[in-house]
Structure formats: structure tokens, C-alpha cells
Amino acid sequence: MGAAQTVTGSLYLLETKKQRFLVDAGLFQGSQKAEKQNFRPLPFHPKHLDGIILTHAHIDHSGLIPRMVAEGYRGPIYATPATIDLCRIVLPDSGSLHEEDCRFENKWRKKCGKDLLVPLYTRQQAEMSLKYFEKLDYYKRHTIGRAVNLTFHDAGHILGSAIVELEIEGSKIVFSGDMGNRDNPILREPDLIDQTDYLVIESTYGDRLHDDPATRMEGLGEIIRGAQGPIIIPAFAVERTQELMYDIIRLQRDGKIPILPIYVDSPMAVSATEIFERYQSVFGSEIRAALKRGEPLFETPNMHLIRSPEESQRLNKLESPAIIISASGMCEGGRIRHHLYHHLPQAQSTVVFVGFQAERTLGRRLKEGVQSITLFGETVPVRAKVKSLDSYSAHADYEGLISWVRGMQQPPAYTFITHGELSSSQALGKRMMDELEIVTVIPALGELFELLPASSGTARLEPAN
């Protein structure tokens, strides 16, 4: 019911004979048209759900949960402990953003005598939803509802991210969730799964290969060394920001970049960084070894974590080389828009994209080289240099996805490809057929499939209308 032939809005409704579960309940993001879908009528009543299973805290997977609770859902929301801690910051923030958007929109609506809008949910409603979360550690097989077994495996995508393994009525279905990139400097590699009858796999980068991680560090170092003015890096507050902090500290330690002031200007990123520091047990081996040697994770004297708006505004006047990391990652909201407003017209500034930019977002347009943008009702010329480092990715590329599936002892009987723009999903499907002889289906939004029990012989599916 989301992330079908597109990358946002993850939501799967899973019905067994007597029960109904959601796997993820995420927001559509990007264009206004996409965001309108967050208000769509749903073909189920949240009250009648038996459980919500959450793969990770990203808002395109978790952001519809407060709506479910506001509409009467009172059951458990299963997630890993780190995902729950991250949801404590991202969901209330999402509520505030919906309220703000609504207030802004209603200003002109009031003037024109139009009907006033209500927010998708409020901060308070988002906070309410947090009490339904239930912790489930990785690798613990847990019975949810009646006779459904749920196990979380590490997806290595963001802190707390999980691959969902469900055993239902004699069949197994695995949701990859968002699958991590093996070169993530902080997290573990995605766990392998022995076997599954049905697989639902993401395909954000189903048609692309990432550069070598060494190239990424070199690329970042080169941009920082060549900077004549501020470097503005739009970055997701959770994960990408911490990866950048970690990489910049390493470049600095190795003498590969000059020591510049580094500003992490996002209250959410600052809170997320504190959560990262609490979950060092789920980090990859390289970083755990560094921690053992006493190397700091995210701290260095020239690193400034900024929460207050006044301190943030002071950065508008910067002209000398400095690094500003701010959210949101696709420039659709948050403080990054103020930094772009002030620094895009300056030829000495550099904007560096380090993450996926969805279609029709401000980030995508800048990355594609537009000459000017509209921000805060004004035309802003783009004179700053715009660069991108594509190898920073929290998602596996097609080789990562294929080798993860190849790692199964037995290929899945059927594979659904979701969470990708259609061309990416198709490219992955073709490769899975060519290299692994796996039949794949790319479901359309709202499409319904009946999964027959694997124990009945051949697993089969019936698209239903």
C-alpha cells in the first residue's frame, strides 16, 4: 500500500486467516501530490489491526504510525530498542512539521475564505503513539498475535534497522526493509537469511553500483581541501550525519584535510548522535576496534553541535571555509533551507549532496543543475558549486542486493520488488532473473496477492482484483 514503484510510503497489510498486521506504516514524501496520499482513505480500520511491525525509524517507514494511533489503533508496535529511541525524536518532530505546514497553508486559506486544513497528526498525537511501542531485540523469535513468529535481523541500514522474518501458517515471508550498504563505516553488514518462501525486497539502488568507499573518503577530502568558502552538506539527521562526522574526524586525524570549524546544525541530528553513542554494541567490527583504542566517535574540538536557532542564524554570515551539516537531507524542510538561501548565491560556497534525492524534491533539482530556485517566496540564484558524492548511501546497490539473496541456502519461491522507482525495480528484477533465475513481481500500489502455504507443495500467488 506504499513504496510500490516508488521509494517512499512503505506500508504492507498482511492478513492471515484471522489476523491483520502492518509491516511499516510510512509517509509518502517528495512532491505535494505524493504527500497528499498520506491522507488517503485506507482499506482497513486501524482499530482492527493486531500488530504493527516496524523495520526502522526513517519517516517513510514509520511516519504514518501516529495516524494509526490517532484513528484508534491501540495494539503493539514491534521495533528494536534503537528504532524506538530514534522514533522518540523523529515522530514528534514529524508531528510538529505537519502542524507548521498546516498553519502556513491556512494563513492564505483564511484570507481567501477557503476551508481550513487539519494536520495529518499533531506533535501530541505523535507522542501518544510512542507508548504502544514494544521492544524486540535482534535474533529473538517472538510470537505475536496468535501463532505468528517474528524475528528481527540486522539490516545494517540505519541504527536499529531490521530485516523482518515472519513465520505464518507454515510459510515464511521475509521483508528486507531498507537494506544497508556493506561499506557503512558505523554499522554491521546486513545479516544473511537462510531461507524464505516469499521475499519482499527493496530496490532503491536496483540499477546502480556504488563507488568504492575509499573513493568516497577521497572525494570528501578533495572537496574540503578545495573549499574557498562554506561547505553546506544537506544530510539526513539520522545516520548520514553521524557517518559524515565520523569520516571527517578520520580525514582530519590523518592530516588529509585542514582543520575547519564543523557545525552540525540540526537539533534532531544532535539528539540522534546521542542515541548512537548509547548503542555501540550494534556497531561494526572496525569501529568497535577504534572505540577500544579510545578513539572518539563523533567528538573533536572543532566540532560544534548546534541546537539553538540563534546560533544557527549566526552561520548565515559565514564566508570563510567551514563545514555545515544540516537537515533535511533532501532539502524539503528544516534549517538546511536557510543555509541554502544564504549560501547558494555565493560563488565561494559549495553544496555537497551525499544522499538519495527523490524525484521533484529541492535537492534533486539542485543536483540536476538548476540555475535558480524559489525559497521563502523569493528567487534564489545558484552561484555556489554543487557537487555530489554518490557513494554515501545507506542502501545496498544491486550487487549488494543480489549477493544478499544469493547468500540464501535456497532461493525464495517468489520475490516482490518494492521501494524503488520503476526503472530501478525492473533492473533489479532482470538481474535476479538472469543471475539467480528468480521470478520477481513488481507490485502496483494497492495490488493484492494471495500467498498460498509453502507446505501445500509449490508456493503460488494469485493477484487479486
C-alpha cell at 394: 545507506
Q: Which residues contact 113 (CB under 8 A, 6 or more apart)?
A: none
Residue number with CB closer to Zn ion (75 or 355)? 355
Which range touches Zn ion (CB under 5 A), out of 52-60, 110-118, 163-171, 210-218? 52-60
3-state secondary structure of 282: helix
CB of 372 to Zn ion, least distance (A): 31
Residue number with CB closer to Zn ion (85 or 178)? 178
Residue number with CB closer to Zn ion (122 or 241)? 241
Residue number with CB closer to Zn ion (22 or 251)? 22
Which range touches Zn ion (CB under 5 A), out of 114-122, 170-178, 309-317, 425-433? 170-178
Residue number with CB closer to Zn ion (364 or 385)? 364
C-alpha cell at 317: 554570515
339: contact with Zn ion by CB under 5 A:
no
Which range touches Zn ion (CB under 5 A), out of 55-63, 95-103, 130-138, 325-333? 55-63
CB of 394 to Zn ion, least distance (A): 6
CB of 228 to Zn ion, least distance (A): 34
Which range touches Zn ion (CB under 5 A), out of 10-18, 69-77, 174-182, 263-271? 174-182
- Site for Zn ion (CB under 5 A): how many residues? 2
What distance in Å separates the CA atoms of residue 158 and residue 6, rounded to the nearest whole number? 20
Alpha helices in 227-351 (DSSP H): 240-253, 267-278, 285-292, 309-314, 336-343
Q: In what order do the strands lie in the sheet with 198-202?
A: 142-144, 148-154, 162-168, 171-175, 198-202, 414-418, 440-441
CB of 349 to Zn ion, least distance (A): 29
C-alpha cell at 321: 571555509
Residue 453 identity (one-letter amino acid): P
Q: Which residues contact 237 (CB under 8 A, 6 or more apart)?
A: 90, 266, 268, 269, 272, 327, 328, 329
- One DSSP character per residue, 382-428 reads --SEEEE-TT--SS-BHHHHHHHHHTSSS--SEEEEESS-HHHHHHH
Q: How many degrees, rounded to 5, is the angle at CA 145 between CA 143 and CA 149? A: 30
58: contact with Zn ion by CB under 5 A:
yes
CB of 381 to Zn ion, least distance (A): 33
CB of 58 to Zn ion, least distance (A): 4
Residue number with CB closer to Zn ion (311 or 359)? 359
Residue number with CB closer to Zn ion (58 or 339)? 58
CB of 282 to Zn ion, least distance (A): 16
First vs last C-alpha separation in the chain: 14
178: contact with Zn ion by CB under 5 A:
yes
CB of 158 to Zn ion, least distance (A): 6
Residues that bind Zn ion (CB under 5 A): 58, 178
